[in-house]
Amino acid sequence: MKNDQFFDCSECIVNENGDLLFINEKKIKAQSSVLNKVLKKIGTNLFSGKSVLGVSLPIEIFASDTNLERLCKGNAYAPLFL
């Protein structure tokens, strides 16, 4: 681990620009499936003449954090203690 890193993420890489990239394709697909469900439901309501305001959102939107959020929460205070 480099001196300028505050965490060790085995599912992440840092590219040449210094961007943190998440490389676990299975988790990325699982998170994007939630968005697909919502967009399909909105499209169905629009084409059937129903209101978009009546679309119920899946519980995954509210219950689960993104992987980046979990990573940040776990390491938020690392600079204070290192």
* Domain annotation covers residue 13: no
pLDDT in tens, 2-29: 445 445 577 788 888 888 788 888 877 8
Structure tokens at 12: 């992440």
- Res 61: pLDDT: 64
* Domain annotation covers residue 35: yes
Measure the N-to-C terminal CA separation of the chain; round to a whole number of Å: 14
* Domain annotation covers residue 2: no
53: how many CB neighbours lie within 10 A of its CB?
A: 6
C-alpha dihedral sign at 43, 45, 46, 47: positive
Our count of domains for the chain comes to 1
- Res 60: pLDDT: 63
- Res 62: pLDDT: 66
Q: List the domain range (segments joined by +) for residue 46.
A: 25-81
Q: Is the per-residue pLDDT at 40 higher than 60?
A: yes
